[in-house]
Structure 1
Amino acid sequence: MFDIVTKIIIVTLLNIKFIGCFRINHEMVDSTIKKWAPLIIFHPEEKFFPLSVEEYLEHVYPANSDGTPIKNDFKNDLNNNLPIGRSSHGVHLTTRMNLDDLKSSLSFLNGRNPDKFSVPSYVIVNECGMKKRSRGNFTFIASYWFFFPYNEGKKVCFLGSRIPVPFIPVLNKCLGVTKKIGNHVGDFEHITISFNSNYEPIELFASTHDIGAYYSYDLRGRVFRYKDQRRRKTLLKHINFPAEVRLDRNRPVLYAARGSHGLWGDRGRQRYYKLPNLYDYTGYGVVWRTWEDIQIYHLKYSKQPDWMQFIGKWGNPRDGCLWGLCELSDAPNGIVDRPVDFEC
């Protein structure tokens, strides 16, 4: 009996980490992360769904910015030959097949409908310990990452081929030439939630392209309420983010924009850029229950897959650029090279 009790105590202690004077139970952390994993709803006209990173890597190769393959082609050995860290700087993960051919029919760029297939979400956990925040103790931060093999750009009105300048449509009509700008291969979207020592959320950050909104958790109302925003120089002084992110049985409900997958707290037309005017459109279509296939990595003690250390571009090099606006834009960098949403 003593041996059995001793073994139980040892196993329990192995799953508990002491930070400061607070004990973090890894099993509780993982359980909390799954409990608060978001419900993502796609636009009913969505054509480009999420995909696992592992499947995506089977269809791309590491190349220089001019498309020239580098020596380490990792098709047959993903873990050993994928450039990581400094060696991956400036590297583009380029499609093996011609991009126009891939877009002309269904391909891996369309991802997998998460209502029909199992598609993983990836969570990175940063354990902070005892930090005083707005309510309770700031104990750990969970960033939920979602990978999309293709980002569909936005239609932009130009004055014409001889005067390639963005132009605001008159009465919603383009008097020049319309081009789709900002397409790119490979895309990560994410949300981040900070938790206190009671394993309750404190704040949520919802990523929308390279901007986003911060929400504070209202425990009584059981809703996340708008607090602040992260924005760039878009000539919009203030972006009208939804006032709330509602819950569905403890799970934040986010709406992924059609084609571009920016995450918003409500359905409708969302304006996020001026000159040219750019809008996201969200609606009620396919539902992704992200907690059904979730991979959790703790920064301080879990071994992360090599692809998380790839800091290059996650898609083809840019092409067809006019005045800094590209029909095919550079893909974003890897997730370790993104701004921090919450500081420990």
Structure 2
Amino acid sequence: MIFMINTHDHNLVLLSLMIITLILGNCILYTHSKYVNHDDHDYDHPKLHVVKRRIEFRIDQSFNLPSPLPNWPPGNGFGTGSIDFGGLHIAEVTTFNKVWATYDGGPDGEGATFFEPVGLPEGYFLLGYYAQRNNRPLFGRVLVAKDTNSPGDPALNWPIDYALVWSSHGLSVKADSPGYIWAPIPSDGYQAVGLVVTTTPEKPPLDKVRCVRNDFTTFCEPDEWIWGREGDIDSDEFNIFDSRPVKKGKQGSAVSAGTFLAKSGGGTTGDTPLLACLKYVKSNATYMPNLDQLKALISTYSPKIYNHPKENFFPSSVEWFFKNGALLYKKGDESNPIPIEPSGANLPQGGTSDGEYWIDLPTNKNEKERVKKGDIESACAYYHVKPMLGGTYTDLAIWVFYPFNGPSSAKVGFVTIPLGEIGEHVADWEHVTLRISNFNGMLQKVYFSQHAEGEWVYPPDLEFYDGNKFNGYASLHGHACYRSVGEVLQGSNYIGIRNDTGKSDKMLDTSKNYEIISADYLGGGVVIEPAWLNYARKWGPKISYNIADEIKKFANLLPGKLKAKFLAFTKSLPPEVLGEQGPTGPKMKKSWDGEETK
């Protein structure tokens, strides 16, 4: 239940907050066990807890996209099933046999399951096993390899032995059976890129997996926490993580094999070094989608982005914004702003965000208010296409422009407090990124930008419609993008900035009204970047009111401890959320050439 209160009635605010504080201080969180042992008693000893029956987990079901993949338009190597790393051919496998599972621990306490990849293409070899949390349907991939080098210098080689990394034997782990995790020990000149899991203490056969020659490998690091007790890479506890290359971004040459890392005490457990990621020796851009294939991908996957029913500030095209009176200001000549050409051709190109120039709304009051509201009929999805993870995946970053970002609201307990002008600024750039496998054109995951950060979401957790397209939701006034309808609190669980989402008839279909603004891997002349994309300065002015005073005014309505927590929270917010100044354009963001920010 949410209460809206009049922030000018200080006595009502204080009374409400005192009641809320008492409620929050006396809340009791209840949980229920998902596990039942053979004698229906709680587990109370440090032994393996054999589970005789249990509640079904989401991972017990495999996930498939709602519709089969289309036949992609012909051309190059995109969607052909394998990629040549320079004598080492890599393919993607998405079918698995369950080996071992644990039913507690991990981010949500539901445990994880470990799988052996099966159904490998002819001539390909396994590099390691796959692990996934139990809290979503099975949806994963691992890479397998085929050696086309000369027999005298093979890119793949058997391990010479295995080292036991970890065992559940004698530990307090809820599982169907004991579990053992093994690290392949490579011969000189080779690296292991994955681990093996068994349910017996006998070592796996040497020919179960292959190790990879050094020049086809590079450093890996932990990514998403899969399972364990703490999830801290520096913890002494044993933990399982997804792996990712240390060097990421558009220029990166490496990709994780989709296998998992095991870490304890700040390093890999056992006597083996950190596992490696795969790296291409010879780059080949022909596995990226051509222009026709890009259009097919956009038609297949691109989302509808819904605005909240109470939204006042809608997206528009950049051209509409310029045509309707946006002005370019120059430092030292503020009294003579100039109209911006519809294409942005008269914007200064390049440079840095140095404060020399900025864009603002029309000076006429009525026109200013009209332009603030945007024009969803003209709104356009701007696509930036880039190779990722050694060119094995394609990122489709969909940028949406809003002429104005509206005011924020804070939530303290059950009370919502409008924050006046806080959060307001001219211009707002938000984006959603689709990560596509170049092996087969499969949607792997989606990134939803949310102010200065965001989240990766896997397809099982998307809201699909019309085949393999999905929905996104722009938050009220702030336009951060989320995968479902509801409220997300930016902060702690009882104090923060509200991000409300909802479905309305004000929607942008990013598969219809769109423009590909950058895809430099296609070569010169295929995609022409608009002039406004290379404008490096701010798309809005620095605000004129004192944010510190505004925050203090609202903080003074709160009792002592809540006031301190509220002030501490506001200091953690990025400038674009606070509304101190307008943002830079898409090309100036770190994610343009790099990985998305979590």
Matched, 1:143 2:402: no
Conserved 8 A contact 2:303-2:511: yes
Matches of 2:396 and 2:390, distance apart in 1: 16
Matches of 2:406 and 2:500, distance apart in 1: 12
Letter in 2 for 1:150: F
**CA positional deviation for 1:193:** 1.2
Alignment match, 2:91? none
Alignment match, 1:239? none
Alignment match, 2:520? 299
Matches of 1:87 and 1:70, distance apart in 2: 22
Alignment match, 1:125? 385
Aligned pairs for 1:47-62 within 5 A: 47-58=312-323, 59-62=325-328
Alignment match, 1:109? 372
Change (3 A) 1:129 1:21: farther
Matched, 1:194 2:416: no
Aligned pairs for 1:252-263 within 5 A: 252-263=470-481
Conserved 8 A contact 2:409-2:498: no
**CA positional deviation for 1:119:** 2.3
TM-score by length of 1: 0.71
**Partner of residue 496 from structure 2, selected from 277, 281, 300:** 277
Conserved 8 A contact 1:320-1:328: no
Alignment match, 2:297? 32
Larger relative contact order, structure 1 or 2 (CA cutoff 8 Å, min sep 6):
1
Secondary structure of 1:307's aligned partner: helix
RMSD: 3.3
Secondary structure of 1:147's aligned partner: strand
**CA positional deviation for 1:329:** 2.8
Conserved 8 A contact 2:347-2:532: yes
Q: Point out where structure 2 has 5 or more consecutive residues left out of the alignment.
A: 1-73, 79-282, 552-574
User: Which 10-residue stretch deviates more, 142-151 or 279-288?
Assistant: 279-288
Alignment match, 2:165? none
Alignment match, 1:81? 346
Change (3 A) 1:66 1:153: farther
Alignment match, 1:95? 361
**Partner of residue 207 from structure 1, selected from 449, 460, 476:** 449
**CA positional deviation for 1:187:** 0.6
Alignment match, 2:191? none
User: Which 10-residue stretch deviates more, 44-53 or 178-187?
Assistant: 178-187
Letter in 1 for 2:384: I
**CA positional deviation for 1:178:** 5.1
Larger CA Rg, structure 1 vs 2: 2
For residues 245-265 of structure 1, give each alpha carbon's deviation from its aligned partner in whole angstroms, at most 9, with x where no partner exists.
221121121111111111111
Secondary structure of 2:340's aligned partner: coil
**CA positional deviation for 1:299:** 2.5
Secondary structure of 2:316's aligned partner: coil
TM-score by length of 2: 0.42
Letter in 2 for 1:266: S
Alignment match, 2:209? none
User: Which 10-residue stretch deviates more, 180-189 or 56-65?
Assistant: 56-65
Alignment match, 2:485? 267
Matched, 1:245 2:462: yes
Conserved 8 A contact 1:52-1:119: yes
Matches of 2:348 and 2:408, distance apart in 1: 31
Change (3 A) 1:170 1:194: closer
Conserved 8 A contact 1:192-1:206: yes
Identity of aligned residues (%): 21
Conserved 8 A contact 2:430-2:480: yes
Change (3 A) 1:27 1:152: same
Change (3 A) 1:13 1:270: closer
Secondary structure of 2:421's aligned partner: strand
Alignment match, 1:290? 510
Matches of 1:319 and 1:276, distance apart in 2: 27
